[in-house]
A = this chain, B = another copy of it.
Amino acid sequence: MKCFDPTMYFITDSTAYSEAAFLSRVEAACQGGITLLQLREKTKTTREYLALAQKVQAITKRYGIPLIIDDRVDIALAIHAEGVHLGQSDLPVHTARRLMGRDAIIGATTKTVPQALEACEQGADYLGVGAIFPTTTKVKTVLTSVDTLKAIVQSVSVPVNAIGGLQKENIHVLKNSGIAGICVVSAIMKADDPCKAAQELKEAFDAQQKEDRTHHCRQ
């Protein structure tokens, strides 16, 4: 059985750091209570991506956090990572599923209801939807409204995470959206204290989830 907690999904960005500084931030995020980690590398060679993935995996394994590899099914297979995350420019979900088997966690980035339905038909285990806010990580990203996010949540049965410029100060816009978790890059990666940042974000999101449920019960 495939079991993962998408509540506090941290996506890495190593570009601004030495390898040692990067790995130390990854570990701090794990200590702070992230529940899922995606290694995302866009400019490394395959061998460099593989080497970094192995080092990150040594950390995530210690904390029992599933490691998701962005884009590269070959890297994920090579290190037996728990899963892969696929954007619209990556392998189709059904191809990744065929190569990785049913136990792999396969996620997809979707920005519209049709994309979300297609990803789920192909076997996606979760969806990332955004960008909710402008982000410095992806310069040319297209924004997704909270209304579209809600429409996607209502259209699919898999967990849906919001992504894009999310911080503890702005996640209130997601209240009652029905999302399963939040994905963040900068809010943890670039924080002065990534451990504390992860912890506070998780607490803020958990508190909001609780409020949503209470609100829902009152209705």
Question: Which residues does A use to contact B, with CB under 8 Å?
Answer: 45-48, 50, 71-74, 77-78, 88-92, 95, 98-99
Contact = CB atoms under 8 A, between A and B. Distances in A.
Q: Give the top 6 A-B pairs by smallest Cβ distance, nearest first.
A: A45-B89, A74-B74, A73-B74, A46-B90, A78-B95, A47-B89
B48 A91 contact: no
Given A46-B90, A50-B91, A78-B99, 9 more contacts: A46-B71, A46-B91, A47-B88, A48-B89, A73-B78, A74-B77, A74-B91, A78-B95, A78-B98
Contacts of A46: 71-72, 89-91
A74 B74 CA distance: 5
A95 B74 CA distance: 9
8 contacts: A45-B89, A46-B72, A46-B89, A47-B92, A48-B89, A74-B74, A78-B91, A78-B99
A98 B74 CA distance: 11
Q: Copies per complex?
A: 2
A117 to B, nearest CB: 19
Nearest to A72: B74
A84 B98 CA distance: 19
A47 B92 CA distance: 8
A147 B194 CA distance: 54
Contacts of A90: 45-47
A86 to B, nearest CB: 8
Contacts of A77: 73-74, 99
A179 to B, nearest CB: 26
Contacts of A91: 46-47, 50, 74, 78
A72 B75 CA distance: 10
User: Which of A45, A47, A74: most chain B Cβ within 10 A?
Assistant: A74
Nearest to A73: B74
- Which among A88, A90, A98 has the greatest number of chain B C-beta atoms within 10 A? A90
A50 B89 CA distance: 10
